[in-house]
Amino acid sequence: MTRYKAPRGTSDLVFPDSEKMERLIETACALMRERGYRRIDTPILEDTELFARSIGEETDIVTKEMYNFEDRGGESLTMRPEGTAPVVRAYLERGLASRGLPVKVYYVGPMFRRERPQAGRFRQFTQIGGEAIGSEDPFLDAEIISFSDALFARLGLERYRLLVNSVGCRECRPAYVDRLRSFLEAMKGGLCEQCVRRTDTNPLRVFDCKNERCRATLKGAPTIGEHLCPRCREHFDALLGHLDTMGMTFEVDERMVRGLDYYTNTAFEFQFEGLGAQNTVCGGGRYDGLTEELGGPPTPGVGYSMGLERLLMALEAEGLDPFVPERLQVFLAAAPGVQREPVLDLLGRLRAEGISADTDFMGRGLKAQMKQADRLGARVVVMIGEEELASGEVTLRDLDASEQWRVPAKGLVERIRQIL
């Protein structure tokens, strides 16, 4: 015991859960690479301004969730709450456009938001995300969306919903936002304090509100669909056509606007019914104005981000366990009194061959070592006794078959290979 605890909303990931997370990350990253996405890693810390500017005032993240602090040099830094703004910053700062468009990248790592911790909502969580920058082609939106579908299929997940919407662009959104504002002004009595404020500053954000009364009030709100300009409408229709062609089932939800200001046109999310209130596992959309917002040339982009803790919860809720933990292949059990050298020599040879191997470090008797081998899930135990050693032999035990043989120490590695 210790009086220290992991900070609220954070937790240690311990085996075997940590290994499930590791395998999930490997699977998801491999899938991104199969689709032509390359890896990018940006710092955990960024200028606070980067997020404040891009994510937007009156968003949950910027108003109350960012971990920002003044460092010893007086700079305001923020622990990244999301991955898109950092990627776009890196795209501009490193001139990635010169490597050929579209730039298709993926990232994976921890994000930080000071939220009220609850099931599926943490202060540190892990996201994988993908960004495709430089093309307006709606097929790229479809490719980004279809990643989740492909990953869920690989994991055996079936019961989820894909919601899509278009949130319009700089041309058509303002007129819609004006209409929404008039509606909200008339309905002020049915809105929470924050939404009343949002009515002035950023009306679209009222759709993020989780307050039941606000949600009921919003049932009669005008929706964006009929306000889309011809370009947005055409893009959205093309996207829906592509999703159809790819065999994906979706629902158009005109109230789904996503919690970030930089989205334009496409917005989408994947939900799992079994997860309770925190049922969105993946969200994303197009952000054609973001590069300009960050001081770069106009450049379209589209991306997604997926919460991996929530995805693991979805697997568990569905009773799926696609990640069988890797077993230890060989445990070397030396009888008390046996020299260390032959044990270490054999251990080294097995490991050099790529066979996973472990041995006793606690000075245990043979029986206790067998127990340890069992605990480690070992497939084979090699027992080394003094008498056997003298005759150049060891005892090999196949734990699955419950069989054992006395075999020459020479050629042991080959013999073990046969069993594995």
CB closer to ligand ATP out of 260 and 412: 260
For ligand ATP, which residue has the nearest CB? 307
CB of 60 to Mg ion, least distance (A): 5
Rounded to 5 degrees, φ, ψ at 359 are -145, -175
* Residue 102 contacts which entry, Mg ion, ligand ATP, none (Cβ below 5-8 A, type-dependent): none
Measured between alpha carbons, how far is 328 from 385 in angstroms, rounded to an integer? 22
Measured between alpha carbons, how far is 148 from 282 in angstroms, rounded to an integer? 8
CB closer to ligand ATP out of 265 and 280: 280
List residues near ligand ATP by CB under 6 A.
Answer: 82, 113, 115, 120-122, 125, 127, 259, 278, 280-283, 305, 307, 309-310
CB of 259 to ligand ATP, least distance (A): 4
Q: Is 413 exposed, middle or buried (0-12, 13-18, 19+ CB in 10 A)?
A: middle
CB of 59 to ligand ATP, least distance (A): 9
* Residue 121 contacts which entry, ligand ATP, Mg ion, none (Cβ below 5-8 A, type-dependent): ligand ATP
CB of 370 to ligand ATP, least distance (A): 42
CB closer to ligand ATP out of 31 and 267: 267
Site mask for Mg ion (CB under 5 A), range 58-77, x = bound: --x-----------------
CB of 262 to ligand ATP, least distance (A): 11
Letter string b/e over residues 358-379, b meaning 16 or more CB atoms within 10 A of that residue's CB: bbbeeeeebeebbebbeeeebb
CB closer to Mg ion out of 118 and 245: 118
CB closer to ligand ATP out of 267 and 330: 267
ω into residue 336 within 30 of 0, thus cis? no
One DSSP character per residue, 201-227 reads: H-GGGGGG---HHHHHHHTTS--SGGG
One DSSP character per residue, 257-304 reads: --S-TT-EEEEEEEEEGGGTT--EEEEEEE-TTHHHHTTS----EEEE
Measured between alpha carbons, how far is 62 from 66 in angstroms, rounded to an integer? 6
CB of 239 to ligand ATP, least distance (A): 19
Residue with tokens 């982009």: 301
CB closer to ligand ATP out of 209 and 378: 209
Nearest to 67 by CA among 10, 110, 113: 113
Residues 125-164 that bind Mg ion (CB under 5 A): none
Which residues in this chain contact Mg ion in the complex, by CB under 5 A?
Answer: 60
